[in-house]
Amino acid sequence: MPNPVQELDADSPICKPLPPYEDIIKASSGSPNDMLILNVSQNEVVYQHYIIVHGQVLEAKGKDDKIVVHHPKLPSLEYPAIDGYFKAVVELAYGVNELTFEYKQGATVVSQSTLTISRGKFTDKPPLKLAILLAKDSPETFDAPPGAQGPGINDLDAAVKKMRCCAYLWQAYMAEMMYRNGCGRRTFRLEEEPDSDAQDESTQQPRAKVHIIRSQTSLAEMRDKRNAQQNLMESIDNFEVALGQASATLDMITNSQISERLFGMTSEQVKNVDRAIHDASVPVVQAASQVVRNMRPAIDEFMAATHKVADETVKAVHQALTPDTRAKIRTSVMNAVKTTMDNYV
């Protein structure tokens, strides 16, 4: 993927967002039934598995219209269209993709257009790895309504396919948002593997790989609210105990007094302190929880009273952000985003 210049300023083309669709339409010429592709150029090179395409047929009017996208190697896709406007999420294969868009009203094709998009590979950035974490006693199913359960519906295979689909949509959405804000179709790379489910090897395409990781934690432990990250006091307590236990374990493994060097105490003394901290922290945590519950009405009243002040503050800040100030902030943010993207995307 080509990298933009290192220094960005407010006049740089990469900092300029796309023109409004209305301006694109006004600048276009042709018959009323011509199809306009609003956000993708002919022969554009992209790096994602799916691309979001926006378009319009100028004089088409109808609530039950549809857009059909044909690909020479992949299944056709169909999406609803309203009053000439459409949006399609189109799958791409590596290499050149010759796409045909058909705008239909019923069975009649009122407009047709072709679009060539090339999908390239970029391997100079580390891929994003997808993973599903399973409890050690997981039945390898996920929650679903009674009528939507069974093999291929709410089992592990279905979860893998859903996660892969989500990742493709994340990738396409990020590329579209970066493009709209003047940064090109920059997005993250997904780790891929051969598609073992493909029936035709001639059209086989790599797919996003989803790792399955079996945890040593049970379902009950994962769902226990006491293990939640929000339980700060208990998390700190557990960390202190775990630290003491870990140092004592290292003492036995290495046959050295690591705990003594860390804490100035023997292993047994560290464990005794751990027990004392644990025993002493229980009533403190209980009392703190009760105080928070007692303060809830007062906190709610305070928040309600400060809403008006907060709104006025937001308005004042909004007025202070003049167009010139906004442009400077935008330039700074774009520089920071660009630096991050150069390292990871």
Structure tokens at 282: 């229980």
Give the CA angle between residues 159, 161, 162 to the nearest 5°.
65
CA 271 to chain centre: 43
In whole angstroms, give the CA distance from residue 183 to residue 122. Answer: 17
List, for residues 178-195, the tens digit of each pLDDT value.
999 989 999 999 999 988
In whole angstroms, give the CA distance from residue 240 to residue 107. Answer: 70
pLDDT above 90 as % of the chain: 38
In whole angstroms, give the CA distance from residue 84 to residue 62. Answer: 7
Would the pLDDT of 6 be above 50? no
Most confident of the following: 1-15, 16-30, 119-133, 289-303: 119-133
Helix ranges (DSSP H) in 105-231:
156-180, 219-223
List, for residues 20-72, the tens digit of each pLDDT value.
555 544 444 456 678 999 999 999 999 999 999 999 998 888 888 999 999 99
List, for residues 313-336, the tens digit of each pLDDT value.
767 766 766 777 767 777 777 777
List, for residues 79-130, the tens digit of each pLDDT value.
999 988 999 999 999 999 999 999 999 889 999 999 999 999 888 889 999 9
